[in-house]
Structure 1
């Protein structure tokens, strides 16, 4: 089950379509869907989590806590809407496209993909592009 929670004044317009797409991503990776919570927040909220749980005193767009057991994907994905907006401007893409990238990024971590080195980052970016393309097909 994919849940969307809001700790800021942002709301997804298309929760059902996003949930359907993320479920398709899980299936495409031959995984099972457990409980996945997306929590949309602001920079301050996510910065506190970054400092408290990861000991990183920086702003970030997404933090995911992975509770996956075996083949069943579960976890909490915290997304700073402020960072996504800023990053969309920095990367010259729409807010919606950058949001999809961040939404699927957390899910891909649960599927076993990492992004710590250059080679892993390249694989992650390619997987993000592949899964974002599914959004248009699934609609």
Structure 2
């Protein structure tokens, strides 16, 4: 039996077309020659993500995503917290629609679990190129 990707919300956000997002994320993981394990997305507020950042990572900053990577070998497992407040603000800042920015953030978390980093300018450029490539998979018809 295939493991589902779960989507939860701690605020009033509701992910539309969850099955399509799940199929896309599975395709992304498979494109990295990995398998889906226990994968949970939690959509929440800036305050929730700030609290997680302070309590677990020792950072006193807002961010759009925090990924707790529990992957082992080729099995991708994680808890991925996404601030829908921050995604909305960044979509406006970068002049892209909310759904597009949300998918970028969602795939960003997966790519971290697949071994991509973003701690240097070179790694950030590689991460961005990979995000763009994986986002194209969303528009490919999934089986």
Alpha-carbon distance in 1 for matches of 2:60, 2:8: 24
2:58 pairs with one of 43, 55, 59: 55
Alpha-carbon distance in 2 for matches of 1:138, 1:64: 27
TM-score, length of structure 2 as denominator length: 0.96
Find the residue that maps to 1:40 and give its secondary structure: strand
2:73 pairs with one of 57, 70, 73: 70
Please give the residue correspondences for 1:38-53 in structure 2 after superposition, counting only pairs within 5 Å: 38-53=41-56
Alpha-carbon distance in 2 for matches of 1:86, 1:16: 26
Alpha-carbon distance in 2 for matches of 1:74, 1:31: 10
The aligned residue for residue 106 of structure 2 is 103
Find the residue that maps to 2:132 and give its secondary structure: helix
The aligned residue for residue 121 of structure 1 is 124
Find the residue that maps to 1:4 and give its secondary structure: strand
Find the residue that maps to 2:140 and give its secondary structure: helix
4+ runs deviating over 6 angstroms: none
The aligned residue for residue 82 of structure 1 is 85
Alpha-carbon distance in 1 for matches of 2:73, 2:16: 32
Task: Please provide the CA RMSD for this pair.
Answer: 0.7
The aligned residue for residue 30 of structure 1 is 33
TM-score, length of structure 1 as denominator length: 0.98
1:21 pairs with one of 9, 12, 24: 24
Find the residue that maps to 1:76 and give its secondary structure: strand
Q: Give aligned pairs, total.
A: 139
- Which residues of structure 2 form unaligned runs of 5+? none
Q: CA deviation at 1:138?
A: 2.8
Alpha-carbon distance in 2 for matches of 1:131, 1:37: 19
